[in-house]
Structure formats: structure tokens, C-alpha cells
Amino acid sequence: MSEQYRNNFLREVEANVEEGEWVKRCMQCGVCSGSCPLGPHWEHPPQELFMMIRAGKRDEVLKSSSMWMCTSCYNCIARCPRELPITHIMHGLAHYAERLGLAPKNQQTNKFAQRFWNNLSKTGRVNELKLTLSFYFMNGFMAGVKMSLNMQKVGLGMLLSKRLNPFEILGGHGCKDSKGLQAILKKAREIEDAKIAKFQG
């Protein structure tokens, strides 16, 4: 499907990945990789990912844990001499990989992101209490209890200062027309799926 050093995968990225059309603009200076505070923990730093895309390494890129390491500090964007929106491209790649079911399993960022999306897309508003709890318990019940106890003080503080509404647990607030929102999201997904299908041969 993607041959080495042919441009198929590059074209796929350009079509389906957020800001993917910028990938060809990378001039391989390496400033992004050098600027990344988590750089040493990345399997492939951004510069290398861009090269891998051009080299047609589809599986290696999409299955990589690298872009999931991005913490959105925006150092790379601020410093890139070619003004590539590197952070957005990283998130775009991660999203695209998840969409294709290629993203690494048990990736913490991925897990959290999925929970965030589920929480948000249901009502059109983030339910912070539910989001927090789902985050605390995502790695099992015992881990969740431990985490909750750790954060006890913060939670109580927020409760007292009315930053946290305990009744949100009962369903919480939403946007005016959550059904309409669901329809928009469904349509968007259909459009994206159609675009992706084009590259699935």
C-alpha cells in the first residue's frame, strides 16, 4: 500500500491528518526535536516522524507511541524556522492513528484523550467531576481509590470554594441541543471516513 520513498503515505497524511499538508515543508533542521522538553522520551522525534512519512513508513509512524508523548507545550511551534504547526500535526497524527485502530494500546495519553472526548461529545459540555473520576479509575479500581485519596484535599478545597458541583454526578449540564450536536459529529465522522476509505485501497 505504501511503498518506500514514494509519496503515497505523504499524500494520505496530507489528506487525512490535521495540518498534514505542512509535513513536506519540513527542512530537517532538528530544532523541534532539540526544543522538546520530553525529547529524550520520544521513540521518534517530530523531525524524524516527518522524514518517516516521506519515506513511506506508514505502519511505523502510525503505530508509534511518539506523537502521544506531546504535552502541547508549543516550544516546537514557537521555534520552527519554517513555521510548521508541529504540535497540531502531532495531535493530528495521533488522532488519525487511533481512528485507524493502529494506536498503541494502553497508552495513557490515548486513554485520557478518549475519556475526555466521550465525556465532552455526549452533552456538548465537559462534566469535570465525571471526567476526573473516569480518569482516576481508568487503570483499575484500587488505583482509582488510591488516586482519589491522594487528591482528597484538592477535591474538598474545590468543593468548599464552589468550584466543584457534587450533583454533576447525576448527569450534569449540557448544551442546548445535544441531539443536534450528535448529528453534526456523526456527519463529520462520515465525511472523514469517506476520505480515509479512499486511502484504504
Q: Which residues of 63-99 are buried (b: 16+ CB within 10 A; e: fewer)?
A: ebbbbbbbeeeebbbeebeeebbbbbbbbbbbbbbbb
* 69 touching another protein, by CB under 8 A: no
Please state, in angstroms and rounded to a whole number, the distance separating the CA atoms of residues 193 and 150: 42
The answer to whether residue 27 forms part of the interface with another protein (CB under 8 A) is yes
Shortest Å distance, C-beta 185 to another protein: 33
Q: Is 98 in the site for another protein (CB under 8 A)?
A: no
Q: Which of 10, 17, 76, 97 binds another protein (CB under 8 A)?
A: 10
Total interface residues for another protein by CB under 8 A:
17
Decide if residue 83 touches another protein (CB under 8 A): no
Is the Cβ–Cβ distance between 92 and 84 less than 8 Å? no
Contact with another protein (CB under 8 A) among 7, 148, 165, 178: 7
Q: Candidates 1, 15, 28, 71: give the one binding another protein (CB under 8 A).
A: 28
Per CB under 8 A, 25 contacts another protein: yes
Site for another protein in 35-54 (CB under 8 A): 47-48, 51-52, 54
C-beta closer to another protein: residue 82 or 187:
82
What dihedral do alpha carbons 16, 21, 22, 25 form, nearest 10°? 130
- The CA angle 62-64-69, to the nearest 5 degrees, is 115
Taking the complex as a whole, how short is the minimal distance between the CB of residue 86 and another protein, in angstroms?
Answer: 16
**Rule CB under 8 A: is residue 4 a binding residue for another protein?**
yes
Quickly tell me which residue has 494500546 as its cell: 105
CB neighbours of 66 closer than 8 A, spacing ≥ 6?
A: 42, 43, 44, 45, 46, 49, 90
Q: What is the DSSP letter of 22?
A: G
Nearer CB in complex with another protein: 4/161: 4
Q: Which residues of this chain interact with another protein, rule CB under 8 A?
A: 4-7, 10, 24-25, 27-28, 47-48, 51-52, 54-55, 57, 82
